[in-house]
Amino acid sequence: MEPRTAPRPRRITARAAPVAAALLLVAGCSGVGVEGTPGAAGLRDPYFPKLGNGGYDVRHYALNIAYDPRTRRIEATADITAAATQNLSAFNLDLAGLTVRSAAVDGATASYRRAGKELTVRPREELGKGTVFRTRLVYAGVPETITDPDGSEEGWLPTADGALAVGEPTGSMAWFPGNHHPSDKATYTVTLSVPAGLKAVSNGRLVSERTANGRTTAVWNAPEPMASYLATVAIGAYRTTTGTVRAGKPADAPAVPVLSVIDPAAADAEADGLLARIPELLDWEAENFGPYPFSAAGAIVDRPGDLGYALETQTRPVFPRTAFDAPTLVHELAHQWYGNSVTPETWRDMWLNEGFATYAEWLYAEDFEDVPAQDSFTEAFDDDANWAFPPADPPEAENISDAPVYGRGAMVLHKVRQAVGDDAFFEILRGWPAKYRYANASTDDFTAYVEDVAGEDAQDDLDEVWDVWLYGDGKPDGP
């Protein structure tokens, strides 16, 4: 350590003095017992350290977005209800692009500042720990399409007749300011205004839809907690199909409405046939995974040919026509339990999403196509792409959607099945999303849960599953 008497560079002394004075001033004026400090600018995710923000916990997003497909601009308001988790002098939101026009906290104008993807809001008065406060941000502009570390596109994607918003892992900050880390889940109300003739769709249930003065306004409500990467908006000249499903809901609960939209350019007999299977597949998954966790279901089929991947957006997964087949549908619907209801604590826990969703495909092959999961396992084992790294530890952000996260993740689950037996395994498939319903969980939570269900007898086998299959480098000698 530097001795206290060492001469200090003048620059530091000059800066330190006003800061200290300002802190004293704040402490003197504020009614809060402990002086407030700014919330952290990131949550230190292992892959996206600046994603998300500290110091508060969002409860609800009320987003109001008007879209003009001709100019591709949005005019928007976000009302964000959050609880302070510390005494807060300022807090950050993640927002990429767009122009912020005004900020207010609890109705009082607040100052704000932008630096890269961080928007810092400073309320006029400090927010004491535990306070529930509402931030209103008025913003506008042409939302960005974001290119991910792995080269795929997300964020806001203009389409021939509208737009599509997909947000895994970081794209939702392209269309609304928020706490964009999967650990801060919240409920949503999304109000969309589009030119009459177009449909505007989001997560959850359609609350109202009216057309006046040449514009249609649709209000969507997602009443169960949702990670922001699962939020979606789809605008286009869609065809709509509707239905209902019970999906394991108790007899006294209302049936779940199923609402799907399909871009006519993406529609054909096969796509229509797949959409029609959603209730049947949700019923089948509910038998295996437990009651469907949400109060709405459906799908969005859009962007023929160019998105390249499907996404499990909550209640209403997105499919480009090119990635819309039965196993993909089974996969995205399985994410409603694994990923959406129980959500990864950080992006390192991604295999908990993709391993389970891939295993759902193996179960589908077992039940519908007479292909034992053991055969799917062997096929995955023989695929070199699955051995690049252990599923619980992708080397870089660009690897979180690579083959080992999916195929080797599913292999881990199959090894668990072998170690604990079918009865305990299917108990785990149902119990895991039940225990962490609407919450977050980590890989450690998962291994602890499995050990709990399996009991002492399986302990040695499970230790090996974790050491070799979940965390181990390289390919074991034999399956």
Q: Which parts of 345-384 interact with ligand TRP (CB under 6 A)? A: 354
Cα–Cα distance, 58 to 352 (Å, whole number): 24
What strands, in cross-sheet order, belong to the sheet with 318-319? 239-245, 256-262, 300-301, 318-319
Q: What is the per-residue binding string for ligand TRP in 115-154, x denoting contact by CB under 6 A? A: -------------------------------------x--
Instruction: Give burial (CB, 10 Å; 0-12/13-18/19+) of 24.
Output: exposed
State the binding partner of 263 from ligand TRP, Zn ion, none, CB within 5 to 8 A by kind: none
Q: Is 159 in the site for ligand TRP (CB under 6 A)?
A: no
Q: Is 312 in the site for ligand TRP (CB under 6 A)?
A: yes
Query: Which C-beta is closer to ligand TRP: that of 154 or that of 184?
Result: 154
Query: Which C-beta is closer to Zn ion: that of 335 or that of 417?
Result: 335
Tokens of 170: 């970081």
Q: Compute the Cα dihedral for 130, 134, 139, 142 and give only its sign.
A: positive
Binder among 126, 168, 285, 361 for ligand TRP (CB under 6 A): 168
Q: Is 166 in the site for Zn ion (CB under 5 A)?
A: no
Q: Is 333 in the site for Zn ion (CB under 5 A)?
A: no
Cα–Cα distance, 328 to 333 (Å, whole number): 8
Residue 335: CB minimum distance to ligand TRP, A: 6
Residue 329: CB minimum distance to ligand TRP, A: 11
Query: Which C-beta is closer to ligand TRP: that of 64 or that of 343?
Result: 343
Number of chain positions touching ligand TRP (CB under 6 A): 12
Query: Which C-beta is closer to ligand TRP: that of 135 or that of 401?
Result: 401
Sequence-distant (6+) residues with CB within 8 A of 303 are 157, 159, 164, 263, 266, 320, 321
Please report how many Cα atoms fall inside a 13 Å half-sphere around the Cα of residue 306, on the Cβ side: 10
Binder among 127, 311, 419, 462 for ligand TRP (CB under 6 A): 311
Cα–Cα distance, 75 to 193 (Å, whole number): 10
Residue 401: CB minimum distance to ligand TRP, A: 3
Residue 431: CB minimum distance to Zn ion, A: 21
Residue 216: CB minimum distance to Zn ion, A: 32
Tokens of 464: 């090996």
Q: Which parts of 320-349 interact with ligand TRP (CB under 6 A)? A: 331-332
> Residue 92 pairs with which residues in a beta bridge?
120
Q: Which residue's CB comes closest to Zn ion?
A: 357
Cβ contact 67:58 at 8 Å = no
Binder among 309, 387, 426, 438 for ligand TRP (CB under 6 A): 309
End-to-end CA separation in angstroms for the chain: 54
Binder among 55, 155, 162, 169 for ligand TRP (CB under 6 A): 169
Cα–Cα distance, 209 to 296 (Å, whole number): 17
Binder among 164, 400, 420, 462 for ligand TRP (CB under 6 A): 400
Residue 397: CB minimum distance to ligand TRP, A: 9
Q: Which parts of 336-365 interact with Zn ion (CB under 5 A)? A: 354, 357
Residue 403: CB minimum distance to Zn ion, A: 12
State the binding partner of 401 from Zn ion, ligand TRP, none, CB within 5 to 8 A by kind: ligand TRP
Q: Compute the Cα dihedral for 160, 165, 166, 167 and give only its sign.
A: positive
Cα–Cα distance, 477 to 264 (Å, whole number): 50
Q: Which of 154, 134, 149, 323 is nearest to 230 (CA)?
A: 154
Query: Which C-beta is closer to ligand TRP: that of 309 or that of 471?
Result: 309
Please report how many Cα atoms fall inside a 13 Å half-sphere around the Cα of residue 74, on the Cβ side: 30
Q: Is 310 in the site for ligand TRP (CB under 6 A)?
A: yes
Q: Which residue's CB comes closest to ligand TRP?
A: 401
Residue 400: CB minimum distance to ligand TRP, A: 5
Cα–Cα distance, 38 to 264 (Å, whole number): 49
State the binding partner of 169 from Zn ion, ligand TRP, none, CB within 5 to 8 A by kind: ligand TRP
State the binding partner of 135 from ligand TRP, Zn ion, none, CB within 5 to 8 A by kind: none
State the binding partner of 345 from ligand TRP, Zn ion, none, CB within 5 to 8 A by kind: none
Site of interaction with ligand TRP (CB under 6 A): 152, 168-169, 309-312, 331-332, 354, 400-401
Contact positions vs Zn ion (CB under 5 A) = 354, 357
